[in-house]
Amino acid sequence: MRKLWILSGGAAIAVTVLVTGAFAATTVAKTTVPFLAKYTGSAVTKQTDNLVAITANGTGKATLIGAGKVTGLGTGDSSVRPCVPFNGTGSMRGPYGVITFKVNPGSAGCGDDSGQLFSITGKATVTKATGKLAKAKGTLKMTGTYDRSSGAFSVKFSGSLTK
């Protein structure tokens, strides 16, 4: 009886090692991908009281998705000055994939004294990615400028994505 118990205990350990090894073999290592995108275009803002509706469309180039377009929809709170907080959603599209993102709280456009030229800073969380960046996730730093009188903007997204 004692030999059977030792043999059974040894078999249980062997099965545990094999099962653990099988799970470890199926675990996929995550890859970190440096990301950089630069776009220029035009934005339209429409103010109702302190709420500013923002629509942006531009063209440029992004790592691994190629040359393409950026679009965004959002809102800002103009009662907060000189830096107007904003949020929203957007996407970057190219021939090799699409990245959908959400602008994080704390993002803002800080205006000059006349309220015409804005410096944009913030973060955007990638909510979905397809193509060469399929299933990539992460938070990107967002910097740029916006000229309220002409509607022209430039934006740069930089950081690392994990897939």
Tell me the pLDDT tens digit for each residue of 131-160.
Answer: 999 999 999 999 999 999 999 999 999 999
Q: Tell me the two tokens of residue 62.
A: 């992004």
What confidence tens digit (pLDDT) does each residue in 24-47 have?
Answer: 445 678 999 999 999 999 999 999
Contact between 158 and 62 under an 8 Å Cβ cutoff? The reply is no
Beta pairing, strands 152-162 & 138-147: antiparallel
What does pLDDT average to over the chain?
88
Q: pTM (2 decimals)?
A: 0.82
Sequence-ordered list of residues with C-beta below 8 angstroms from that of 88, at least 6 positions apart, any chain:
54, 72, 73, 74, 75, 102, 103
Model confidence at 7, pLDDT cuts 50, 70, 90, reads very low
| Residue 11 vs residue 132, higher pLDDT | 132
**CA 86 → CA 77, 97, 104, 158, distances in Å?**
7, 26, 9, 19
What confidence tens digit (pLDDT) does each residue in 50-73 have?
Answer: 999 999 999 999 999 999 999 999
- The DSSP code sequence of 95-140 is TTEEEEEEEPTT-EEEE-TTS-EEEEEEEEEEEEE-GGGTT-BEEE
Q: Give the per-residue pLDDT at 132.
A: 96
Among 89, 91, 80, 76, smallest CA distance to 146 is for: 76
